[in-house]
Structure 1
Amino acid sequence: MTDHPTRLADFMARARLTDPELGRRADTSKQQIFKLRKGERKMSREWAERLAPHLGVTWPELMEGDWRLAPAPQSGLPPALHPSISIPEYDLAEADGKSPVEKLTVLAHWTLPHEMVRAHAGEGAELGFVRVSDDAMTPDYLPTDRVLIDFAHKVPSPAGVYLLWDGAGIALRQLEPLVGSMPATVRVSATSKRYSPYERPAAALAIIGKVVGKWSWT
């Protein structure tokens, strides 16, 4: 048994389907759905093709997020020639802005084409997905989105969206360096009008990483 979440669990939650209901629609037992949802049974293509129509997705989408489908390291090839890379998705529930990202729990692995990722992040990037947990950056970033973070980028320049520790929790915020400020000062803001902007010395910001991409559901 494993506690790793699966893509099936995410899609079932979004569709508000229980194990018995999805089992009824797919002509299988609730026990089988439970095992697939909890990761006790591998999400094969046969199962994905069987369940996907009832979740409003395609079968590759259902398989893509299964944590066991991440490829093994491709030894013997330089990184630039790897056809795909596996990027971890981290759980931010226990993040405190101080512990290194390697200490966080890995929830899943995402497999993406290497060339696509390299076009938006340098070779020295330390990449990982996290789930957006609040509404401060809506409508640009929704609570259901996953964002791709470069954990090696901890300097608030250039202006952009960053993941930071704000003293109370982990938050996505727009950071904009104020030109000519001494000491160097950064304007911290959100796209939602419910959150007021403020300014902080750059040295006082606990930046975890910079957003380089996102995965959204339409």
Structure 2
Amino acid sequence: MMTKRKIDKARGERIRYVRSEILKIGSQEQFAKLLSQHGPAVTRGAVGNWETGKEVGIENLSRICKLAKVDLNWLAYNRGNPDAPIISSFDPDSLEEEQPEVGYSREHWQGSQEGAIPEIDGKLGAGQGQLGEVINLPVGNNAISGHAVKAEWILPIEYLRNEAKASPSRTIVMEVVGDSMSPTYLPGDRVLVDLSQDTMTSDTVYAISDGETEPQIKRLQRVPFSAPAEVIIISDNENLQDFTVELDRLKILGRICGVISRR
């Protein structure tokens, strides 16, 4: 017995809206050619079927979202904000965990132009941090959880590589809240966090977490000759006390490579 294919006219209208209003592409044929430049070939007929509400694979939906910079959750299911791009917050391979540990990565985000660095909806606490808005999105047969992107900062690639010593493709921007790192980092400052530098290689400032609470910005100093290895977690605010923990208990999200400040 043959089953009738499901028609989702509302989804088809959203795909047509993305093509004609967001990407400003007048014909389905042009849209098919554009999609074919970024993956497997797509025909004009396939685009026509999608826009009438016929089945469309998640890979093609993801490709459309990547080109148009719209939220996959909105395009596929009409949930969330069409303008909310995301940064993936954990590895899909870890989905056996009911509540996976929150981490940070950038594999599901691309900027509008070269040198764009995303500022995520999360704040590094110089005191107490904030995780911010997290969006659940389908990817293939799995799902990922991602931090919404609040803004893009355009920084020269050569500055990031040569001056900040940061990876342009792995760096994010986060806002600082609290005053425990004053006067070095003040509330409202934005810092560049290089997610590729997630191990302690030198005594400097990192974005850290204990795996249970919100992310923090702190200065780390290794304790010489300690076994197991220990680090001193330092607040630049002289009114606050430093404390020591075993390095293995600390989750390093990335190294702080720069600061954007009104000063």
CA RMSD of the aligned region, Å? 2.3
Equivalent positions of 1:61-100 (< 5 A) are 71-72=112-113, 84-92=114-122, 93-94=130-131
The TM-score, its normalising length taken from structure 2, stands at 0.47
- Show structure 1 runs of 4+ deviating over 6 A: none
Equivalence for 2:199: 155
Equivalence for 1:185: 230
- Tell me if 1:136 matches 2:180: yes
1:52-90, Cα deviation, whole Å (9 max, x unpaired): xxxxxxxxxxxxxxxxxx634xxxxxxxxxxx4110001
Cα distance in structure 1, aligned partners of 2:199 and 2:259: 20
Equivalent positions of 1:49-64 (< 5 A) are none
Look up the equivalent residue of 2:161 and give its one-letter code.
Answer: R
What percentage of residue pairs aligned between the two structures are identical?
Answer: 27
Aligned residue-pair number:
134
Contact 1:71 1:111 in 2 (8 A): no
Cα distance in structure 2, aligned partners of 1:123 and 1:209: 11
Cα distance in structure 2, aligned partners of 1:198 and 1:125: 33
Cα distance in structure 1, aligned partners of 2:116 and 2:243: 37
Look up the equivalent residue of 2:189 and give its one-letter code.
Answer: D
Equivalent positions of 1:200-211 (< 5 A) are 200-211=245-256
1:187-209, Cα deviation, whole Å (9 max, x unpaired): 10101133211111111002111
Equivalence for 2:161: 118
Contact 2:160 2:167 in 1 (8 A): no
Contact 2:131 2:214 in 1 (8 A): no
Specify whether residues 212 and 110 from structure 1 end up closer, same or farther in structure 2 by C-alpha distance, changes over 3 A only: same
Instruction: Pick one of 76, 101, 107 that aligns with 2:150.
Output: 107
Specify whether residues 133 and 85 from structure 1 end up closer, same or farther in structure 2 by C-alpha distance, changes over 3 A only: same
1:131-188, Cα deviation, whole Å (9 max, x unpaired): 0011110000001100000112111220111111244322111001112111111110
Cα distance in structure 2, aligned partners of 1:144 and 1:156: 26
Q: Which has the larger radius of gyration?
A: 2
Cα distance in structure 2, aligned partners of 1:164 and 1:214: 16
1:87-111, Cα deviation, whole Å (9 max, x unpaired): 000111336xxxxx97211111111
Q: Secondary structure at the match of 2:178?
A: coil
Cα distance in structure 2, aligned partners of 1:108 and 1:129: 9
Gaps of 5+ in 1: 1-39, 41-69, 73-83, 96-100
Equivalence for 2:36: none
Contact 2:219 2:233 in 1 (8 A): yes
